[in-house]
Structure 1
């Protein structure tokens, strides 16, 4: 993402939020549908080696300037962002088998079916499309989960928009586990998927 000009990236804020693009020319304004899934990547530093490689040649200032190409308001509108660590030899050579793609596919299908049933009488289809009213209705938290989320919001200085996205992601995690309720584990996992909200990437 940082290879693009910041002004170009900022244009995505409206379609990510409203799922439409407004184009104004002369006396006319036209709205185009723009519901899409954004998948993007970036290196952790200009050299690409931070944080666990001695070959990293980027200064702290250079890394901060590089990461600041992605604005806070744009990050707020991205539901999931995570850091991917370097894979060590032990993990590469590990013979243990994980969950297969077909098994994951079946879980996704079940979660999609749950969401279709949940929103059958509403003008939305998926958790990502929930607005404030739907979030209040379908993402109810128990006291433990509420305290956990409050702590994260305060310590990470998260925005109201990030709050909504955490709840929507947690709802999806619960759906993948076929759980009708949101637990503190679901909230905790969803918070972990806001890694770029953490100030300065722990530099």
Structure 2
């Protein structure tokens, strides 16, 4: 028998890995600041320079900054390589966590989720019956007309001829299903 998947343990492991990668990224960015000599600047000045760089939309200034970074990285190629690997690993870790969360949501078996799925399936099937009866095309997809037809049918079921009406509609429905199955086979 297959062991049930422990989503919480897997999520915890992925979150721990992401936390380690964030810490490593921060350390490497700190090393980058030191390697470029920006650590000689005051904290406020460095923060201002970084905020100005983030807010800068001028492509020529961005390109000049990228070229300056490449020249700086040539002096410390190992640091740039490590930072790139850390960023890529952090991105993969986040993607794995998102895939796991999506998988857990699809296979969630809590009562309210199961009931919600069953209700959704029922509504889809009922919508399929309305389409199969060609009510959408016959009413030009007028929702008010379709609802009016259904309200009229409900009123007939509340009347005195309920059993007779159900028998009539059941026969028509069975005939329509049979015709549909024959049409699909052909």
TM-score using structure 2 length: 0.24
Q: Which has the higher strand share?
A: 1
TM-score using structure 1 length: 0.22
Q: Higher Cα Rg: structure 1 or 2?
A: 2
Q: Which has the higher contact order (CA 8 A, sep 6+)?
A: 2
